[in-house]
Structure 1
Amino acid sequence: MLSLIQVLLLAIKIYTWIIIASAIFSWLYAFNVVNPRNQFISMIGNALYSLTEPALRPIRSILPDLGGIDISPIVLLLILFFVQQLIVNNLAPLAL
């Protein structure tokens, strides 16, 4: 049981880094720091988008329109941190 909890926590940490990478990539893309015509950059962008968009889309539909500011990654990170702490504080002691 403890191994399953550790794998779940690792998956949450990896997805957290994917969300952060996606946000940074979107900033780099928006300010033309990276070349959008480069095939490798395009593949990275598409992979990050396809990994994060299914989780961010429902949050974006709930949040009000803030103009050009997208805070849905921040909300998703807060949700992930909450779930992580919920697992650590409630499920991990039961597995010991």
Structure 2
Amino acid sequence: MSAGETFTQALIDRPGRTVRIGQATQGVFSDTMARVLPNGMVAWLPNEEFLTRTGRTFDGTGIPPQLTEPVFTKEEFAKNRDSAFDRTVNLLRRS
């Protein structure tokens, strides 16, 4: 997931027009460090922090889309649809 997350974040500060369509990313940008706590619980922490030019991180929350569409849902598959793809094609046709 981290390569896709990092690529999506890199597009945020890209010159020109980039539009994110779909759902928020997973919010997983780097490898994690796992530690077993004395009570047996396990904690995971990110190994790195990736920031935008303005200093914002999307760890945990993920990067939100600008245009929200369902992605890989049972309803989409049942109707043989890909709403995010269709919206992308329509947006490109209007450009």
State TM-score, norm by structure 2: 0.31
User: Which structure: larger Rg?
Assistant: 2
Bigger relative contact order, structure 1 or 2 (CA pairs below 8 A, ≥6 apart): 1
State TM-score, norm by structure 1: 0.31
